[in-house]
Structure formats: structure tokens, C-alpha cells
Amino acid sequence: MSAATEAVRPAYRPDRPGPVTTIRQTIADVVSRRRLILYLVRADLKKHGADTLLGNVWWVLDPLLTMLVYVVLVAVILRSTREAYPLFIFCAILPWKWFSSAVGAATICVVSRERIIKQVAFPKIVLPLSACVGGIVSFIFGLIPLFAMLVLLFPNHLTPWVLLIPVVAAVQFLLTLGIGILLSGLTVFYRDVGLLMTHALRLWFYVSPALYGTDQIQSLTAKNPELARLFNLNPFTGLFESYRNLIYYGQAPTWDLLGIVVVESLVILVVGVLVFRRIEPAFAKVL
């Protein structure tokens, strides 16, 4: 083929809508396909635990067992003296489970629906969206052991502040959605994303105040204001602190940190949607 026939004749090139139109279109797509999202979520839940002995009981057991591992590690072996340590880390483990499993599911959701993508035209954004929505259910199930623990073991920590958990969870959902959409699109082009993500997520968990409190790294951040700022920019600092305030300390969430998370999440979400929509037409070709 000569160079002349290689070129795309520019006159025929379809015009690309601007960012605002893209966002608006995406919202319209999602609203019109809400039934599909519902089915996808339901399909996910139906499959989840269908091939395990205990089925959906795992939603309750899984965070509990993770907590047990860390309790053994930190409270027993490292001899942490914090009061009600199981509850202290459960405030972080529960939302983190939700985040990491939802992001993990979102990352592979487009790639694993390869066949239907090549057969039917539909807004692909419903795939990462339903993967993230599906995670909410496991989070809600995880609240059962949380409240059981609060009522049975640590009743002195139970305050009306726990009613604000949905607010913090909504912020976390925004963050999850943005990251999920972004990664689901990128995985189509680079399968490395999934592998890299496992390790990135583990690192992220350890640099966030999940197993330790912000008070414990004060000695580190006091000398180094840059590091402190960086630490506070981590969305999971704000999220974990807020959850912990509501559940463990029984006080208002860290509104300022939570505000940062909202801004960050919205930026990531908008960027994620724009990137996703930009590369979406290539999915059927690349997969």
C-alpha cells in the first residue's frame, strides 16, 4: 500500500464532541441503561459465592478474617497498646476491602466482556459502573459484623455519629468509580495494569493510616511538613480518618480532609470518564 492510500481522508473523519458534551452524553447513557446496570450487578452478585461452600457468608467472614490477621500481627506480635484495636483497624479494613475488590472487578470488567462488546453496541461505561455498584452490596454486608462488634464487644464506642457512615461511603464511591473507570479502559490496551494494580494497592494500603493512626506518625510528619501535606493529600487519609472518627472516636468526620477527597475524586472521575469515552471506540478493535 502506498503512502497516499494509507492516509485517512480528513473530510470523512467523524467530529469529536467536547468534554462537556461527552460528560452529558455519558450521564444520559447511564440513565437510559440503568436496567442493564441493575442486571449486571445482579449477575455479579449471583455469581459471587455461587461456587463456594459458604456462599454469601463470605461477605461477612472475609473482612473479619482479614481483621483477625492484622490483630494477630499488630496487637499480639507487635504488642500495640491501643484500646479496642480490632475495632480501630476494622474501620479501615472494611472500606478498604470494598475499594480494592471494586477496583479489581472494574479493572477486568471490560476485558472479560470482550465477546459481548464485539457483538452489541452499547455504552461500555456501564461495565465499570456496575462493577463499582456491585461492591456496595459487599460493603453493606460488611457493616453487619461491624455493628455486631460495636454492640457486643465495644458498646462504649457506639454513638449516633455512625449514622453518617453513608456520607463518607458516598465520597468513597466517587473515588472508587473514577479509578475503576480509568483502569478498566486502560487495561484494554495494557494488560499490565491488572498486575501492577495488585502491588500498587498493597502499597497504598500501608501508606494510608489503616493499621496505624495519624497520631502515630506525628513524629514523622512534624519534622517534615512536605510529607505531612503529601500524607493528607492521600484520599484514604481523609476517608480512613473520617470512618474512624464516626465509628471509633464517636466524633465528627474530618471535614477538611474529606473535602479534599471530594475534590480529588471528582477530578479523577471526570478525567476517567473523558479518557474512557475517548478510547471506547477502539475497544472492539483492540480486544
Interface residues toward another protein, by CB under 8 A? 1, 5-6, 8-9, 12-14, 32-33, 35-36, 39-40, 43, 46-47, 50, 115-122, 189-192, 281-282, 284-286
Mapped onto helix, strand or coil, the DSSP state of residue 238 is: helix
Three-state secondary structure readout of 31-57: HHCHHHHHHHHHHHHHHCCCCCCCCCH
Query: Which of 100, 81, 86 is CA-nearest to residue 236?
Result: 100
Give whole-number Cα distances, 274 to 64, 67, 269, in Å: 38, 37, 9
Specify the residue, 147 or 189, whose C-beta has the smaller distance to another protein.
Answer: 189
For the bound state, the minimum distance from the C-beta of residue 98 to another protein, rounded and expressed in Å, comes to 23
For the bound state, the minimum distance from the C-beta of residue 137 to another protein, rounded and expressed in Å, comes to 17
Specify the residue, 47 or 223, whose C-beta has the smaller distance to another protein.
Answer: 47
For the bound state, the minimum distance from the C-beta of residue 140 to another protein, rounded and expressed in Å, comes to 23
For the bound state, the minimum distance from the C-beta of residue 57 to another protein, rounded and expressed in Å, comes to 19
Specify the residue, 36 or 274, whose C-beta has the smaller distance to another protein.
Answer: 36
Query: Which of 248, 252, 253 is CA-nearest to residue 85?
Result: 248
Task: Please report, as a single letter, which amino acid is at residue 260.
Answer: I
Specify the residue, 2 or 219, whose C-beta has the smaller distance to another protein.
Answer: 2
CB 106 within 8 A of CB 128: yes
Q: Exposed (0-12), middle (13-18) or buried (19+): which is 286, by Cβ within 10 Å?
A: exposed
Specify the residue, 10 or 225, whose C-beta has the smaller distance to another protein.
Answer: 10
Task: Report the alpha-carbon distance of residue 238 to residue 92 in Å, rounded.
Answer: 11
Give whole-number Cα distances, 215 to 69, 190, 209, 221, 280, in Å: 23, 39, 9, 10, 44
Q: Cell triple for residue 237? A: 487519609
For the bound state, the minimum distance from the C-beta of residue 47 to another protein, rounded and expressed in Å, comes to 5
For the bound state, the minimum distance from the C-beta of residue 24 to another protein, rounded and expressed in Å, comes to 14
For the bound state, the minimum distance from the C-beta of residue 278 to another protein, rounded and expressed in Å, comes to 12
Exposure pattern of 91-117 as b/e (b: 16+ CB <10 Å)? bbbbbbbbbbbbbbbbbbbbbebeeeb
Specify the residue, 51 or 256, whose C-beta has the smaller distance to another protein.
Answer: 51
Specify the residue, 35 or 199, whose C-beta has the smaller distance to another protein.
Answer: 35
For the bound state, the minimum distance from the C-beta of residue 200 to another protein, rounded and expressed in Å, comes to 14
Specify the residue, 240 or 283, whose C-beta has the smaller distance to another protein.
Answer: 283
Give whole-number Cα distances, 225 to 46, 70, 170, 214, 219, in Å: 48, 29, 30, 14, 11
